[in-house]
Amino acid sequence: MGANTLEERQEKIKKLKEEYKAHEEAVYHKDQYGNGFEYRIPLEIELLTYNIPYKHHQHGFLLDSRFIIAVKKSKWCSPKKYKWYWYSNLKQLCEKLEIAYDENF
């Protein structure tokens, strides 16, 4: 689902930021958001920034069709094992799992 060209990535990030802002305005008075939207959008923006191939998954995002990363917690797993591991940041995780990323955004 990742965008290929730089312009497509920038447009997608702009759209996601607008959606995030609209969501924040709609729920500013609530104590709990409930659907993880406030966690999902920043993570998706980071995935687009590094141009990491991803798809939406019930637990978060499926990276490179091989690994699942959770939205609310910094955890990842293999879809075959479902044993969750911690990671510190997305760039470090990609290096560890040998997922190609582009840091020249």
Which tens digits make up the pLDDT trace of 24-53? 777 666 655 555 677 888 898 899 888 889
- What pLDDT score does 28 carry? 62
For the cut 80, the answer to whether the pLDDT of residue 104 exceeds it is: no
91: which residues sit within 8 A by CB, 6+ positions away? 50, 101, 103
Mean of per-residue pLDDT scores for the chain: 83
Q: Which residue reads 């998954």 in tokens?
A: 57
55-99 pLDDT, tens digit per residue, is 989 888 999 889 999 988 889 999 888 899 999 989 899 999 998
Q: How confident is the model at residue 39, as a pLDDT?
A: 80
